[in-house]
Amino acid sequence: MDLHGFLKALARRWVTVAVCLVLAVGAALAVTQLSTPVYAAGTQLFVATRSSEDTTQLSQGQSFSQARVQSYAAIVPTRQVTGPVVRDLKLSTTPEELASRITADAPLDTVLINITVRDADPKRAAEIANAVAASFSAVVERLETPKPVGSRRDADAPPAAVSPVSLGVTQQAVAPDAPVSPRPLLNLAGGACVGLLLAAGLVVLRETLDTTLKTSQALSELTGLPALGTIPYDKSAPAQPLITAAAHSQRAEAFRKLRTNLQFAQVDDRPRIIMVTSSVPGEGKTNTSVNLALSLVEAGVSTCLVDADLRRPCVANTFGLVQDAGLTTVLIGQARAEEVMQQVGNGLSVLAGGAVPPNPTELLASARMSEVLQDLAKTYEAVIVDTAPLLPVADTIGLAPLAQGTLLVVRSSKTSRDQVRTATDALEQVGGRVLGTVFNMAAPPKGDRYEAYGAHGELPAPRLAAQQKKAAVMDLASEK
């Protein structure tokens, strides 16, 4: 799946994307509302060596402080520092838990130590930070103070040793005004990102698992056959299956395009007996057969529609014709085709299926069926044969060699790739000539140019120029 296909998949499954976004953003809002605000108070310490007037000693002291300051920062969240703070402030926590809320860092090439304390109470956070700074300074100075050698000191002994470093507070901690956590905007942005990632993952998973065909281009790439027509989905089609009921609809125009493409696709060897079939039931093959026949009659082509689906014949019911007499009656020799042929008001000849026989496969593959089709092809310019689906039964496989061309109807977002591939292979194995495919019940294009052209309404009356209007008025006056 390339980027273009991925974006089209996201647009096609926008409901999944919207649900994932709503759930993720809702979870982020819930976390934000349920989270306890946490405040951060910070203080800063300066590490200095004992004063000396010697420049060399000052330089060495500076280097000494920079070398030790990283080690000092690691001492801040230790029990030696947090224990006295918990005891002095009488905190209801342990030194270890307090240490987990303290962070300390020492910027490189500086003698500064930044201490940050997090707490649910801003005032208490500042108090703890200042107490930690004081306790930390005492611990460092005590650790750096050299221990005296021996247990006694004479009166003339040198004074007690002192720490070579001292820590001073450069910035006292104050109670913060705003919490550092939670961050509503950051949480919402994170929730939106998580929602999009989740939606992208679900869409990719569904596209991977969903092997149905979504576009006519994908159908052409799979079969290597030309897509002769794309019939858009029309919610009114079940109630009004015939295009004659809505002659200016998108669906009617699609069948006219199918008729035109079919007429020009095989110019050198134009077939007269065209079989219409599908891989599985429910793909709209009968509807396609009926409306293709109607569009051919509309173009002035003498057409006969044959219902060769002898297991579930539907053509007669579509037109409201008699079902009992038809193709099976002709095949068993009880009547001739012209005797049971029925006419539809617009000039279409219909040969209904007739009574359902016990052996439809044998009847359709018989020599008599070939004779009937050849006789009809001599009488009519086009013979459209509606057949049973290819995969469930073997009826159409036996009939395919008798036809001069086959149209394979594929329903959008329902027929799988394996079903289409199996159907085309079955037709090729028996020598059937596949003219192309019809992609049925496809998603109607947005902003279709046919609608923009205004085919659904009456054309406005032409406007007369000013001189034409004046001449018309004078003519009318002269007539009066």
Over residues 180-201, the pLDDT tens digits come to 988 889 999 999 999 999 999 9
- Domain total in the chain: 3
Amino acid 267: pLDDT: 63
Q: Which one has a higher pLDDT value, 473 or 17? A: 17
The two beta strands, 382-386 and 303-307, are parallel
Closest Cα to residue 306, out of 392, 388, 248?
Answer: 388
Q: Are residues 324 and 417 in the same domain?
A: yes
The range of the structural domain enclosing residue 137 comes to 39-145+163-171
Q: Are residues 192 and 314 in the same domain?
A: no
Asked whether residue 466 is assigned to any structural domain, the reply reads no
DSSP-assigned beta bridge partners for residue 408: 277, 437
The proportion of the chain whose per-residue pLDDT surpasses 70, expressed as a percent, equals: 85
pLDDT at 452 over 50: no
Expressed in angstroms, the distance from the first to the final Cα of the chain is 76
Q: Yes or no: say if 181 and 35 are a contact pair by the CB < 8 Å rule.
A: yes
Amino acid 6: pLDDT: 81
Least confident range of 109-113, 302-306, 346-350: 109-113
Asked whether residue 322 is assigned to any structural domain, the reply reads yes
DSSP-assigned beta bridge partners for residue 343: 349
pLDDT at 468 over 60: no
Q: What values do phi and psi take at 404, rounded to 5?
A: -90, -5
Q: What is the mean pLDDT of residues 259-277?
A: 85
Q: What is the mean pLDDT of residues 288-311?
A: 95
Task: Verify cis geometry, omega within 30 degrees of 0, for the bond prior to 182.
Answer: yes
pLDDT at 132 over 70: yes
Distance, in Å, from the CA atom of 52 to the CA atom of 159, rounded to the nearest integer, reads: 18
- Report CA torsion sign: 234, 239, 240, 246: negative
pLDDT at 158 over 60: no
Distance, in Å, from the CA atom of 226 to the CA atom of 219, rounded to the nearest integer, reads: 9
Helices (H), 305-359: 315-319, 327-331, 337-340
Asked whether residue 470 is assigned to any structural domain, the reply reads no
Question: Would you call 170 helix, strand, or coil by DSSP?
Answer: strand
Asked whether residue 357 is assigned to any structural domain, the reply reads yes
CATH code of the domain covering residue 393:
3.40.50.300
Q: In the β-sheet with 102-105, what is the strand arrangement from edge to edge? A: 102-105, 112-119, 39-49, 165-171
Q: Are residues 374 and 424 in the same domain?
A: yes
Q: Are residues 20 and 114 in the same domain?
A: no
Q: Are residues 12 and 117 in the same domain?
A: no
Distance, in Å, from the CA atom of 342 to the CA atom of 326, rounded to the nearest integer, reads: 9
Rounded to the nearest 10 degrees, what angle do helices 216-223 and 417-429 cross at?
A: 40
Q: For residue 244, give the DSSP letter.
A: G
Q: Are residues 231 and 203 in the same domain?
A: no
pLDDT at 446 over 70: no
Distance, in Å, from the CA atom of 116 to the CA atom of 126, rounded to the nearest integer, reads: 9
pLDDT in tens, 59-103: 555 666 677 788 888 999 999 999 999 999 999 999 999 999 999
pLDDT at 234 over 80: yes
- Convert 121-147 to b/e letters by CB count within 10 Å (16 or more is b): ebebbbbbbbbbbbbbbebbeeebeee
Q: Are residues 60 and 135 in the same domain?
A: yes
Q: Are residues 249 and 367 in the same domain?
A: yes
Amino acid 50: pLDDT: 64
Q: Yes or no: say if 386 and 307 are a contact pair by the CB < 8 Å rule.
A: yes
Q: Are residues 77 and 186 in the same domain?
A: no
Q: Are residues 336 and 356 in the same domain?
A: yes
Q: Are residues 139 and 50 in the same domain?
A: yes
Asked whether residue 477 is assigned to any structural domain, the reply reads no
Q: For residue 381, give the DSSP letter.
A: S
pLDDT at 388 over 90: yes
248: confidence class by pLDDT, cuts 50, 70, 90: confident
CATH code of the domain covering residue 49:
3.30.70.1130
Q: Collect all residues with Cβ–Cβ distance below 8 Å to 43 and sequence separation of at least 6.
A: 114, 115, 129, 130, 132, 133, 169, 171, 172, 173
Q: Are residues 69 and 8 in the same domain?
A: no
DSSP 77-131: TSHHHHHHHHHHHT-SS-HHHHHTTEEEE--TTS-EEEEEEEESSHHHHHHHHHH
* Number of residues that make up the chain: 480
Closest Cα to residue 352, out of 382, 413, 406, 309?
Answer: 309
- Residue 84 sits at the vertex; the CA angle it makes with 83 and 87, to the nearest 5 degrees, is 90
pLDDT at 328 over 90: yes
| Full-model pTM | 0.63
Least confident range of 82-86, 258-262, 312-316, 458-462: 458-462
Q: In the β-sheet with 382-386, what is the strand arrangement from edge to edge? A: 227-232, 434-442, 405-411, 273-278, 382-386, 303-307, 349-351, 342-343
Asked whether residue 152 is assigned to any structural domain, the reply reads no
Least confident range of 48-52, 285-289, 313-317, 396-400: 48-52
Question: Would you call 256 helix, strand, or coil by DSSP?
Answer: helix
State the average pLDDT for the chain. Answer: 85
